Amino acid sequence: MKYMISVIVPVYNEEKIIKQFLSPFSYNCGLEVIVVDGQSSDKTVEFAKQYPVKVIQCVKNRAAQMNEGAKIAQKDILLFLHADCLVERGSLEDINDCLNNGYIGGCLSQRITSDKIIYRFIEASGNIRSNISKIFYGDQAIFVKKDKFLKLGGFNGVALFEDALFSKKLKKEGRLRVLNNKVFVSPRRWEKNGIMKTTFINWILTLGFMLGMPLDILKRIYADVR
């Protein structure tokens, strides 16, 4: 059975990088790209409309944006991708093959686009964690069969950890896999806020989530980087 892929991209004020992100997708025949804007105040929408992609808008909430994109997706596979991430060549074909072989979803292996040694430890720990726990984060390029996504009700409408909460639901439905294919992630959040500070905050957030702390409290700690 041959699957086709819809790439869903939640964005907010990404005019600096949206052209670089969308350029590679201009040449993928049969690939549907849906940019879901959270009411940006810059030229994100204007720039996105210069490419052969669908552009829609909704409230600024990453979970809600991804759910809206999934609603209009026409393909059998959903790939959720952040605007500061790019996938390795051949990844789309391997996602397709993975889901043809009995898996219902998964993610790619994270690679942070910097030569600094500390990033090798950060990405390695994240990849090991996702392989063991099958809990995926948004910057790992989560993919899933659309019918399973809809059956589970999509992402919870929360401010944070919508990706981890969805992973918990998903792994109860069937087999998941972390592919060796890379998703290349910008180091901009670490670089802007400081590598050690950002890593420490991520650990605190993850620990708080595991301990069941209220998400609105954790959201106050979390800092979006644009």
Query: Which domains, and CATH codes, for the chain?
Result: 5-188 (3.90.550.10)
Q: Average pLDDT, whole number, for the chain? A: 90
Q: E strands of the chain, at which residues? A: 5-11, 32-37, 54-57, 77-80, 85-87, 105-112, 142-145, 176-185
Please state, in angstroms and as integers, the Cα–Cα distance from residue 23 to each residue in 33, 47, 87, 149, 187, following that order: 11, 11, 13, 27, 20
Q: How confident is the model at residue 80 (pLDDT cuts 50, 70, 90)?
A: very high
Q: What pLDDT score does 25 carry? A: 79
Tokens of 136: 């995926």
Q: What pLDDT score does 4 carry? A: 87
d(CA 76, CA 71): 12
Q: Are 85 and 11 in contact (CB under 8 A)?
A: no
**179: pLDDT strictly greater than 90:** yes
Over range 73-91, report the average pLDDT. 95
d(CA 223, CA 197): 11
